[in-house]
């Protein structure tokens, strides 16, 4: 592991991929003027900055302006690529409804007390027992699980109020096998479930292929287990100083923390800003 803030790339990256919460966004939900200016300068130099987040679209939109209202963003852990300029989907990688329902059944049987919600491009639907930590949009539907798949599901959420995140993840994966991809990034016990083989990394790889960018030319930043595939795929990877231990162990390097503009400070060094 290279020490915090060390610069890795011999040649300058051709694409920047960064997580949001705990990585680019500060603890108070803001993005500093310094970080915004660095990202815009990187973009001006012809290097795309791609947000790669577990956030649903409605939360990701809050920070699109920090790299200008252009480009593409990967949201819902790879379930959706959003064209920011057109305000329209670029790529949707949904979970098959039958597979999603079977997944919920298997998890609920293995771990009683599980509750589920479904993220779509247009919003979220929740079971009555799903305890959301942030108020959902006023028009969000609550109802039986089968009623929530009224549009392609880009992410399935499973919550438990008693188990720890890792314990719940292990139990859920044992129950469903490779039917879907399960990860987590929340401080509470919330599993984020995508279609099989849909991760931040696999969707970023598709996007980079479209742009003609090799994995070796990507620099990526993250802090939580849902970032692990992306950090393992990118040619150069940074864990934030306050990242989850598994992320620190996986990444090539460690950046300063998200409250210290870690992403921007590393990029300023890499690009000589």
- The residue-averaged pLDDT of 251-260 equals 94
What pLDDT shows up at residue 4?
Answer: 47
Number of Cβ within a 10 Å radius of residue 162: 10
CA torsion 48→54→58→61, rounded to 10°?
-20
What pLDDT shows up at residue 219?
Answer: 97
What pLDDT shows up at residue 80?
Answer: 92
Which is more confident, 146 or 184?
Answer: 146
**Mean pLDDT across the chain:** 88
- The residue-averaged pLDDT of 39-60 equals 90
What pLDDT shows up at residue 164?
Answer: 84
Number of Cβ within a 10 Å radius of residue 256: 18
- The residue-averaged pLDDT of 74-95 equals 91
CA torsion 60→65→71→73, rounded to 10°?
-10
HSE toward the beta carbon, residue 237, CA cutoff 13 A: 23
How far CA 15 is from CA of 39, 103, 128, in Å, comes to 11, 35, 42
pLDDT of 3 over the 60 cut: no
Confidence of residue 49 (pLDDT cuts 50, 70, 90): very high
Three state DSSP letters for 49-81? EEEECCCCHHHHHHHHHHHCCCCEEEEHHHCEE
Residue pair 132/117 in contact by the 8 Å Cβ criterion:
yes
What pLDDT shows up at residue 264?
Answer: 95
What pLDDT shows up at residue 202?
Answer: 95
What pLDDT shows up at residue 42?
Answer: 93
pLDDT in tens, 163-173: 888 888 889 88
Q: Which of 176, 214, 217, 206 is nearest to 193 (CA)?
A: 176
What pLDDT shows up at residue 187?
Answer: 65
d(CA 218, CA 99): 33
What pLDDT shows up at residue 10?
Answer: 52
pLDDT in tens, 223-242: 988 899 999 999 999 999 99
State if pTM tops 0.75: yes
Q: Of 111-115, 181-185, 206-210, 265-269, which range is least confident?
A: 181-185
Confidence of residue 2 (pLDDT cuts 50, 70, 90): very low
d(CA 190, CA 102): 18
């Amino acid at each position: 592991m290279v020490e915090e803030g060390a610069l890795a790339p011999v040649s300058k990256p051709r694409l920047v991929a960064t997580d949001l919460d705990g990585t680019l966004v500060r603890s108070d939900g803001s993005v500093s003027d310094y970080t915004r200016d660095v990202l815009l300068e990187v973009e001006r130099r012809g290097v795309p900055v791609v947000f790669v987040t577990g956030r649903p679209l409605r939360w990701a939109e809050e920070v699109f302006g920090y790299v200008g209202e252009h480009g593409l963003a990967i949201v819902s852990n790879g379930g959706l690529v959003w064209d920011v300029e057109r305000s329209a989907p670029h790529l949707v990688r949904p979970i098959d409804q039958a597979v999603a329902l079977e997944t919920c059944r298997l998890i609920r049987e293995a771990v009683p007390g599980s509750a589920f919600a479904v993220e779509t491009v247009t919003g979220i639907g929740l079971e009555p027992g799903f305890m959301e930590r942030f108020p959902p949009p006023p028009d969000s539907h609550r109802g039986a699980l089968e009623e929530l798949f009224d549009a392609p599901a880009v992410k399935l959420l499973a919550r438990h109020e008693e188990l720890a995140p890792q314990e719940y993840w292990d139990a859920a994966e044992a129950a469903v096998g490779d039917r879907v991809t399960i990860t987590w990034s929340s401080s509470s016990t919330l599993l984020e479930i995508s279609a099989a083989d849909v991760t931040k990394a696999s969707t970023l790889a598709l996007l980079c292929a479209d742009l003609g960018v090799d994995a070796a030319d990507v620099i990526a930043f993250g802090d939580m287990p849902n970032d692990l595939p992306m950090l393992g795929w990118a040619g150069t990877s940074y864990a934030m100083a306050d990242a989850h231990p598994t992320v620190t162990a996986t990444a090539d390097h460690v950046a300063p923390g998200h409250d210290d503009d870690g992403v921007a400070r590393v990029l300023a060094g890499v690009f000589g800003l």
